[in-house]
Each structure stands twice: as C-alpha cells, then as structure tokens.
Amino acid sequence: MAQDNVTADIDKGAASVLQPPAGVNREARERLAATAGIEVHERVRLASVTTLRIGGPADLLVRVDSEAALSEVMEVARGCGAALHLLGHGSNVLFPDAGIRGIVCRLRGELGVVEVEGETVRAGAGVTLARLARDTAKQGLLGLEALSGFPSTVGGAVVMNAGCYGTEIRDVLTEVRVARPGRPVESLPVARLEPGYRTTNLQGTDAVVTGAEFRLRRGAGAPALARIDELNRRRWQSLPSGKPNAGSVFRNPGDDHAGRLIEVCGLKGLRRGGAEISGRHANVIVNRDKASAADVLDLMVAAHRAVGERFGVELRPEIVLPGGLAEEFWRRARCG
C-alpha cells in the first residue's frame, strides 16, 4: 500500500481532523447567534442532514446566508479552536455515531442564488446542481445536464470535482470563489484547484467554496430537459432506490470499477448490522435499517480487504470520513 495515498486520504477525508477536536464554548455560541445571517442549532443529529441518514450530533449546526456571515463563523471557530466542517447536501459523507465536535456549516441565502449573464452563469455554493442544471437548460444554456442526476450542492461538487456520464464539473467551470479564515475571498480560475478524478486541492483544507462561475453554451432547452430526464432515469436504474446511501463508497481504481471488483469478491448483499453492500451496485452501501457508522465502516473494511487479497488492488474511499473515521478505516483496513 502506498503510504502517501493513505496519508492523503486521511487528510482529504476529514478537514476537521486537521484541527484539535475542541467543542464550541458558550461565548462563541452566543456571538454566532447574535450575528445577522447566521442561524444556529445546537446538538442537531447529523443523520438528519446526510443522505446516508447516519451520524450523531454536532456541537453546532449553523446555516449561513452570506460571505460576511461565513467570515464571522470562521473567526469564531478559530477563536475557540473548534473545527469547522462544511456540509453541502451531505451526499458524500459518513459522520461518526458519536457525532462531531465543532461547527458544521451549511450555506444558503445569498449563497444560494443564481445569476445569468450571456453564457456565463454564477451560482452560490449552496445551490443544488439538479436545480441549476434544470434552470439553465430552461433558459437554453447547456452543459450541466450530465451533472444533474445526483444529490449535490455546487460547493460539494466543486470540492469533489464530481462527475457523471463522462462530464466532470471542471469541464464547465471557469472560476471558483474561495473563502479562508482571516483572508479576503478570492476568485480562483479552475486550474488553480488542480482538479483530478474526484479530487481538488481544496479537499482537507480550511477553504470554503462560496460560489462558482460556469461557462455554458447556447442550445435548445427542450431537448436538454429531455436529456436530463433520460439520464436521471438511467442513473436511478443503476442505483439502489429507496434506501439511504451516499453513492459510490470507493473511487474507481485505474481503468477498473470498484463495484465490479467488490461484486466478483461475492460481497453483494453482505450485511453488518443495519448496513448492506447493495445487491444492485456493489460500490454502494445502503442503510437498510438504523445502520450505524460502525456498520458501514465494517463493510468498507471487508470490501477493501477482499479486493486487496483477491486482486492486489488498493481501494481508496471516495466518501468523506470525518471525525476520526478515516484514520479508523485505514488502521483496520491495513491491519488484516
């Protein structure tokens, strides 16, 4: 196993692990609650804001309306030494059963707005990709259709360089607005993110994407909307329907498919507690019935080991594993 990859995955997977897992003190909570454009919720179970429906409470969950409000959240987090964890649609993340120390932050308000100027589209990081793709297609602006079929915010998709059906978000992205603690918000050309297969250099850093600019092309809206519907139909046929999940658990290794390798190992349908390796798509773990993060991690370790033993291939998680789960995964995956 390449140690570099492991370390990189731990770092990328869990921005919050890079900081001490301090809680949020009362003064910090009160300062945030008193700031315009910040909605504060205490001890919200993260299961309620993730597509896997797993995860214990966060000290604080804040919803932030603007870059100014975000800057205040960053400042407060830094001031009390608390981790700040950005959350989009929660469709690519597994939170620990014990929850997360620190602040989990979601974007909305001004950060959920779309502006169109010619073929240039600017969207706040809190906008969902599905909505953006449909709205732009209705206006005869094409390019996002293939990215409309999975649950995602613009911010989450930019950070993950999400992709589907041969299109990655970097293909249509021109610039990204990035906020960092103590620094003015910067507009970065997409190349500065060094996007690769499900990676950018924003992963595992304290950078927060607040918005993105896309360059789309003019075309007929009605066929584009029909294509969105068709691609979504195809997509949902290949995925487990009805049961909570987080899409692909592992990145595809090289030219192969993680799902194929796991399937050949005979692991489709394998269960741990309430979690199951989907019988429809072996790279997806579903929450069948009150699954815990520990159940999902057990299945990930089982799949990683089986594929390693049979094919000599190292599967690397695509799903983000904050709060110490990345370290736990790698420790167990490597220990045999």
Ligand X SMILES: Cc1cc2nc3c(=O)[nH]c(=O)nc-3n(C[C@H](O)[C@H](O)[C@H](O)COP(=O)(O)OP(=O)(O)OC[C@H]3O[C@@H](n4cnc5c(N)ncnc54)[C@H](O)[C@@H]3O)c2cc1C
Please give the residue ranges that form the binding site for ligand X (CB under 6 A): 15, 51, 85-93, 107, 125, 150-153, 155-157, 159-160, 162-164, 208-209, 239, 245-247, 320
CB of 24 to ligand X, least distance (A): 17
User: Coil, strand, or helix at residue 86?
Assistant: strand
Residue among 108 and 308 whose Cβ is closer to ligand X: 108
| H/E stretch holding 138 | helix 129-138
Residue among 99 and 247 whose Cβ is closer to ligand X: 247
CB of 285 to ligand X, least distance (A): 11
Residue among 245 and 308 whose Cβ is closer to ligand X: 245
Residue among 107 and 307 whose Cβ is closer to ligand X: 107
CB of 178 to ligand X, least distance (A): 8
CB of 157 to ligand X, least distance (A): 4
Phi-psi region of 143 (alpha: psi -120 to 50; beta: other; left: phi over 0): left
Alpha-carbon distance 286 to 53, whole Å?
10
Catalytic residues: 198, 248, 318
Strands in 181-334 per DSSP E: 183-189, 208-215, 217-218, 245-248, 271-272, 275-277, 284-287
Residue among 93 and 303 whose Cβ is closer to ligand X: 93
CB of 27 to ligand X, least distance (A): 25
* CA 240, chain centre distance (Å): 19
CA–CA distance from 127 to each of 120, 121, 302, 318 (Å)?
16, 12, 36, 22
* Alpha-carbon torsion, ordered 76, 82, 83, 84, to 10 deg: -20
* CA 304, chain centre distance (Å): 21
Query: Residue type at 109?
Result: G
